[in-house]
Structure 1
Amino acid sequence: MTKSRLFCLLVVLGSVFMILFIIVYWDNVGVANFNLHTSFSKSLPPHSSGEHPTPLPSTENSAVSDVDKFLDSFLNFGVTKNGLQSTKEEKLSTRKSTSLEENVRGYDWSSRTKLEDGILDQELIQQERKLNMRNFCDNSSFNFPTKHLDFDDIPNKDLDHLIVDDRHGIIYCYVPKVACTNWKRVMIVLSESLLDKKGVPYQDPLQIPREDVHNTSSHLTFNKFWRRYGKFSRHMMKIKLKKYTKFIFVRDPFVRLISAFRSKFELENEDFYRSFAIPILTRYSNRTNVPPSAGEALSSGTKPSFSQFIQYLLDVRTEEQRPFNEHWRQVYRLCHPCQIDYDFIGKLETLDEDTSQLLRQLNIDSLFQFPPSYRNLTASSWEEDWFSKIPLEWRQKLYKLFEADFVLFGYPKPDILLNV
């Protein structure tokens, strides 16, 4: 071997060694002296309206890891991470939503109540929720699909609900029909991942158009890590899961199904009509001819019944042909609670209290006002009426299908629906 080839080999081996050394070191040491939940807005200089402030140089308060920068540079991915621009001077005003769903439901600001000290011990509630989830994840007598799956064995496509904000060190697993639209808006504002028409990162969550909120390109999710980190993607996921604050919001599983049915089958939705309503009507209503479009179906009063929707969920052919849509897929399949140790578990039933607590815990409560809930929110009290025409046997099978979500997140078994 010539000296030149030997020298090249040593350079390559040395580079590989340095990469592995940095990764291992970062994994062991972590974000030394970093406070991932510090409000960065206090360190930014004032700026005139309409102008985006010049990003500050990276400091010890940045939650963007050095290994991120190193790997981005080494692998030439060129990922840009801007400094945080925040403002709290613009007050939220009444807006006309372009979304049919939001026009129908409307917003309700009146539910925003200020908690008095001592009414709810939020820390104790969180401890109980997390302990309940961990106990059942560790309970060998309670089993459900994917429970014993190792994190490395979860397919990338099943990690697409984990949204990452590297700027604040936050990971949010979104669950459709559990205020996820507004939490996605918050994550866009925090990460500055989307610009408005002036080319400035959105500062007000409610100004972000709904179609942009649910556009996958607006968010950095775990299933995109392979593009950024390549073969190091799983290692980087584990580092961020270890260092960042991870949160999730859940809801009574049966009420979530009602909400999904209402928004996807009772409102005009072309995609859901073609993908789900037509197959349901064709299979369970004994109809050979159904309207070809959602508009024609709505005008003629043709739509799946709630009973047919439940029948569709229970049909073994459904999962064989395609996995459950995310709007009715079980939370344990979306967010992997037994593989990911969540730091905060919020519930839609206590959305105001939990949101206030989480924003304070993340130290971002002064950056913006969390968007309001819908006026026409599906209520838990509707559950008995909606399931009254569902056969008892179906209700019992449906509970078994969603039992893990009931148990892991502390929702009581709906005995009144399962025994009558």
Structure 2
Amino acid sequence: MGTWRGLRVAFVLGSLFMVLLIIAYWDDVGRPNLYPFQDPKHKSLPSGWRGPSTTVSPSSSSVVQVQTRASVAGSSNAEIPPEETPEKPAGERQMRKEEGEGDEEREQEARKQRIVDVCSGKEALEFPGRTRAFEQIPFRELDHLIVDDTHQIIYCYVPKVACTNWKRIMVVLSQSLISPSTGKPYTDPQSVPADLVHNSSLHLTFAKFWRHYGSLSRHLMALKLQHYTKFLFVRDPFVRLISAFRNKLGRPNEDFYRQFGSVMLRRYGNASGSVAETAAEAFAAGIKPTFRQFVTYLLDPETERESIFNEHWRQVYRLCHPCQVKYDFIGRLETLETDSEQLLKLLKVDHLLQFPSGPRNRTAASWETDWFAEIPITERRELYKLYKPDFELFGYATPDSVLHH
């Protein structure tokens, strides 16, 4: 009997000890999280690239647990001391500031609600992929979702929407590129070479997760989507198309000429003889793709059968999957400066860097009438149908001046 009583006492004491241990562990961790460290073994990395020193084995059945460094809204690195709270101005100036911040927050909520309404079918608009689950999206279609584990940020970049400067910011935050002049990671986004930030080897994207984490990939993506701050920047879809044409096909660009421009000239140019092999020769001869040929190419069923649109004119809903990814912030190029300032505060990195200033793309909505003047009304309307999901998802007005005049 004495032995049995002793075992009961030991069991009770052991249970109490486990309860206390669980409470202590929970207080220390805050909540359970699984954040894998990035694998540094990238191939074809640009000179100066460096990655974190810890790896996660794809075949491992366990995942490293680390203490959460931020709330769901995102945070800066735990090692960086928090910014001191500035002394608040008094009186009317402070009231105007608070009213402005309130307006910005209400605008963000309206933008996010707009996406929810369109994706839920409330707007009676159907488009490919609207109802599919995130797990059904192929890895190759997740190559625009850049992940920064240090600051718990996910950025979906959209070409022709300030993506060069936002990629620069992601490079600085992730410390993934060494400056040859200092031998240390870049700290000023403006000083990061623009040609380097578009090197895909420099960024960890969801598309690379399978190679890094194997069967854990989908689980890890779901965790990051739940806990990280997710953002993207968008632009009037037709204005973005004009900007893409001007930049990639309206001036000599050998890669884009060979892959797209020469195809447009052969199919729709009615040019006598053979098409020039290089962009330099074509432009020198005055035979170059026109905007009308570009639009015809986009509407050609053969184009869609050949491959998905190039990223510079691919629809944003196909680049960033807003019906599957619940973005915390939707910025617009039309309000780039104010949106960028607001976003850096949301990410809690505004004390580390500023959005790069300087020249920006000046293609404007007021140009649409002139650019579409040579496009038949029927083709304009077909093009609008092609990009209507982007107009509706991100709250851009129907371009009546283009569709009805």
Normalising by structure 1, we get a TM-score of 0.74
C-alpha contact 2:59 2:214 (8 A) present in aligned 1: no
Match of 1:137 in 2: 119
2:105 corresponds to which residue?
123
Once the two structures are superposed, the pairs formed by residues 163-178 of structure 1 within 5 Å of their partners are 163-178=146-161
Whether contact under 8 Å (1:281, 1:290) holds in the other structure is: yes
Q: 1:181 to 1:70 in 2, by over 3 A?
A: closer
Alpha carbons of 1:379 and 1:30: their partners in 2 closer, same or farther (altered >3 Å)?
farther
Q: Given the alignment of the two structures, is residue 251 of structure 1 paired with residue 235 of structure 2, yes or no? A: yes
For the 8 Å contact 1:85–1:201, the answer to whether it is kept is: no
Alignment match, 1:413:
398
Q: Describe the SS at the equivalent of 2:378.
A: helix
Q: 1:209 aligns with which of 193, 207, 212?
A: 193
Alignment partner of 1:303 out of 288, 300, 306: 288
**Cross-structure match for 1:110:** none
How has the CA–CA distance of structure 1 residues 261 and 30 changed in structure 2, closer, same or farther, with 3 Å as cutoff? farther
TM-aligned CA deviation for residue 345 of structure 1: 0.3
**Aligned equivalents of 1:201 and 1:75: distance in 2?**
33
Give the aligned partner of residue 7 of structure 1: none
Shift in alpha-carbon separation, 1:320–1:31, aligned structure 2, 3 A = farther
Q: Return the match for 1:179 from 141, 162, 165.
A: 162
| 3-state SS of 2:99 partner | coil
Q: Is the 8 A contact 1:86 1:367 kept in 2?
A: no
2:179 maps to 196
Q: Is the 8 A contact 2:145 2:206 kept in 1?
A: yes
Q: Separation in 1 of the partners of 2:319 and 2:97?
A: 34
Decide which moves more: 280-289 or 198-207.
Answer: 198-207
Map of 1:14-413 to 2, 5 A cutoff? 32=31, 74=60, 118-119=99-100, 121-139=103-121, 141-197=124-180, 198-287=182-271, 288-413=273-398
Structure 2, gaps ≥5 residues long:
1-25, 36-50, 65-76, 82-95
Letter in 1 for 2:99: G
Offset, 1:369: 2.2
Distance 2:342 2:97 in 1: 12
SS at match of 1:374: coil
Displacement after TM superposition at 1:33 (Å): 9.4
Counterpart amino acid of 1:237?
Answer: M
Q: How many residues align?
A: 332
**Unaligned 5+ runs, structure 1:** 1-25, 37-54, 56-63, 88-114
* Deviations, residues 304-358 of structure 1 (Å, cap 9, x unaligned): 1101100000000001112100000000000000001000000000001100000
**Is the Cα–Cα contact under 8 Å of residues 175 and 186 in structure 2 kept in the other structure?**
yes
Q: Write out the 4+ residue segments of structure 1 that deviate beyond 4 Å after TM superposition.
A: 68-78, 83-87
- Quote how far apart the aligned CAs of 1:119 are: 4.4
- Compare 405-414 and 376-385 and name the one that shifted more: 376-385
